[in-house]
Amino acid sequence: MQQLRLPVSGLLFDNDGVLVDSLEPAAVAWDAWAAVYAPAFDFRTQVEHGVRASDTVATLVAPEVFDEAIAALDKAELDGSDACDALPGAVELTRSLPAERWAVVTSAIRPLGLARLAAAGHATPPAVISADDVSRGKPDPEPYLKGAEAIGVSPDECAVFEDAPAGIAAARAAGVKYVIGVGDHLEGAVVDAHVHDLSQVSYDGSVLTISA
């Protein structure tokens, strides 16, 4: 078995598609929402993964109904959050990590991100940066800059785990040391290493090991 060993001081994880499989519950919520607010929108073929829901909704509805529309979507997603599952290796990895060395950086609102993590069997992360905590979401670097700040580690000493091009762009713009692509939907985005899931990953507090 080949191993890649990367020296880093902190780990930053996207949530959906990295730690949690929320794709089907999200699709159900978005489809029900779109039937009312954006009938021409198809989640499975049109959504840009990794960005804040509010940023997508703003492109789909008139400004005067935005507040109502985003509130309805937030409720629909929260109502379906208990159907989320952990992705392979994710719970085992996060349980093994030094608490002060990692954070979750999600484009979901905080209640939704925490609900999905709990449904998937994750403990509450030591630090969470959510859509509620930033003025600009991914692909802007602000989420990952705040994630690194939350664990007291410089971005250039962090590795980021991402499954979506918007998140990879955000991590690159934040100046992180390594970007690890997760899964099969990277759409050609350039990463420093790729894993199918987090069962291929371990971390001892100073060295990130990726097994292939």
Active site residues: 14, 16
Candidates 176, 166, 175; CA nearest to 208 is 176
Please provide the DSSP assignment of 1-58 as one string: --EEEEE-SEEEE-SBTTTEE-HHHHHHHHHHHHHHH-TT--HHHH--TTS-HHHHHT
Tokens representing residue 207 in the block: 């060295």
Q: Which of 81, 96, 106 is nearest to 29 (CA)?
A: 81
Q: Work out whether the CA dihedral 87, 160, 146, 138 comes out positive or negative.
A: negative
The DSSP symbol for 16 reads: B
CA distance 126 to 103: 6
User: What is the Cα–Cα distance from 165 to 18, expressed in whole angstroms?
Assistant: 13
In contact, 142 and 105? CB cutoff 8 Å: no
